[in-house]
Amino acid sequence: MIEPTCEQDLGEAISGASGPLRVRGGGTRPIGAPVMGEVLSTAALTGVSLYEPGALTLVARAGTPLAEVEATLAAEGQRLPFEPMDHRALLGTEGTPTIGGVVAANVSGPRRIQSGACRDSLIGVRFVDGNGTILKNGGRVMKNVTGYDLVKLMAGNRGTLGVLSEVSFKVLPRTDVAHTLLMQGLSDAEAIRALSSALGTPFEVTGAAHLPRGPEGPPMTLIRIEGFEASVAYRAARLAQALDEFGIVRIEADPETNAALWKTIRDVMPFAGSDGDVWRVSVKPSDGPRLVSGVSATDIVYDWGGGLIWALMPAGTDLRAAMEGIPGHATLVRGSDADRTRLSVFHPEPAPIAAISHGLRTRFDPRGVLNPGMMG
């Protein structure tokens, strides 16, 4: 394993590589086709290099543990807006999630529907391309249209276009209070209708999820409101009125219970330790129930108002067969090495788009040393 301790060394490790490299942050999110090669770890590139609470800006080296970034922000009453998920329970991995890994996989959580994805909060990157050249894009200011936005391209590139060395974020104030409206017994279609209604109100829903198999058995639908005490109470009550037809069971106000509920959704806890493949599907929310009715899933979790579907499937089943006529994409997040090779982890792209993706890989990594084959 190569573990550079500075950006310069990272550059030299890549330019000096004679064979393929497996790029790794904390190693907690091994998603993608299996890759052979020597491990190149960014875990030793650590430290928050700049934090200005008054400018809502944080810059950290890629290997900084996510927990350290979150603690630094929490000390000033701020947070990463996009609520990154922790993949460890779902994927059965161990290790320390890094901020660079979060960016490389564009990891977001339930708040994505209101505050955007990781890529929306990311305002700057430093990275090393496949030639070993140190590059930068974006910066540390939240409005920046100077040149092409390669920041977005680096979010979710999974180390196939470049290895991140430093990442900058626009952060937000933490909210004091969260309440969750809970409904029980709704069918998938009713639940998505309820979530859509909630998201169409002015009450700023920051979480909208549905568990067809709720913690107590019957389906449970969850809608989260966050903010300062009086405002949350007011909006939760107004929302409960607006959703009267769906039968609100109760409004959960306990902080620990709320944190646990949304961690369950964020980390897809119902699938942790289970057998079978895990698929992650992004569709238009109203298409969700139709898709789900066409697959032989053993369990389902809906997030993002129904637009994000986690499906637990019998090993080796191709979920994409059910997506005929449904726009969107499906990723095989967990599966055997053989299935991840056979089924294509990432959604196949139409020929002209695949040509662009291939072209980008060729330009950013002409020698094909960065996670070759991982994304196609």
Partner 1 sequence: MEMPAPNPAILAKKDQVVRRLLSVLPKRAVIHDPTETRAYECDALTAYKCPPLVAVLPSTTEEVAAVLRICHEEGVPVVPRGAGTSLAGGALPTADSVILGTARMNAVLETDYDNRIIRVQSGRTNLSVSGAVEEEGFFYAPDPSSQLACAIAGNIAMNSGGAHCLKYGVTTNNLLGVTMVMMDGTVVEIGGAHLDAPVYDLLGVICGSEGQLGVVTEATLRILRKPEGARPVLMGFDDTEVAGQCVSDIIKAGVLPVAIEYMDRLCIRATEDFAKAGYPDCEALLIVEVEGSDAEIDAQLGTILQIARRHNPVELRESASAEESARIWLGRKSAFGAMGSINDYICLDGTIPVSSLPLVLRRIGELSLKYGLDVGNVFHAGDGNMHPLILFDANKPGDLEKCEKFGAEILKLCVEVGGCLTGEHGVGIEKRDLMDTQFLAEDLEIQMAVKDVFDPSWLLNPAKVFPLGASATRRERAA
Q: 18 vs 146, which CB is nearer to partner 1? A: 146
Distance of alpha carbon 82 from alpha carbon 151, whole angstroms: 16
- Where in 284-313 is the site for partner 1 (CB under 8 A)? 284-286, 304, 307-308
Distance of alpha carbon 285 from alpha carbon 308, whole angstroms: 8
Distance of alpha carbon 189 from alpha carbon 148, whole angstroms: 41
Element at 334 (helix H, strand E): strand 328-334
Q: 214 vs 307, which CB is nearer to partner 1? A: 307
- Where in 27-46 is the site for partner 1 (CB under 8 A)? none
**Smallest distance from partner 1 to CB 233, Å:** 10
CA distances from 362 to 19, 101, 147, 358, 372 (A): 16, 22, 21, 6, 11
Q: 43 vs 163, which CB is nearer to partner 1? A: 163
Q: Rule CB under 8 A: is residue 105 a binding residue for partner 1?
A: no
- Where in 244-263 is the site for partner 1 (CB under 8 A)? none
Which of 14, 104, 105, 151 is the binder for partner 1 (CB under 8 A)? 151
Cβ contact 125:150 at 8 Å: yes
Stretch that binds partner 1, among 209-217, 241-249, 332-340, 347-355 (CB under 8 A): 347-355
Token representation of residue 72: 């630094």
Query: Cα 153 from chain centroid?
Result: 15
Cβ contact 244:237 at 8 Å: no
Q: 119 vs 213, which CB is nearer to partner 1? A: 119
Query: 134 pairs with which residues across the strands?
Result: 128
Which of 106, 180, 258, 371 is the binder for partner 1 (CB under 8 A)? 106
Q: Rule CB under 8 A: is residue 130 a binding residue for partner 1?
A: no
Q: 43 vs 164, which CB is nearer to partner 1? A: 164
Q: Rule CB under 8 A: is residue 368 a binding residue for partner 1?
A: no
Which of 15, 144, 264, 336 is the binder for partner 1 (CB under 8 A)? 144
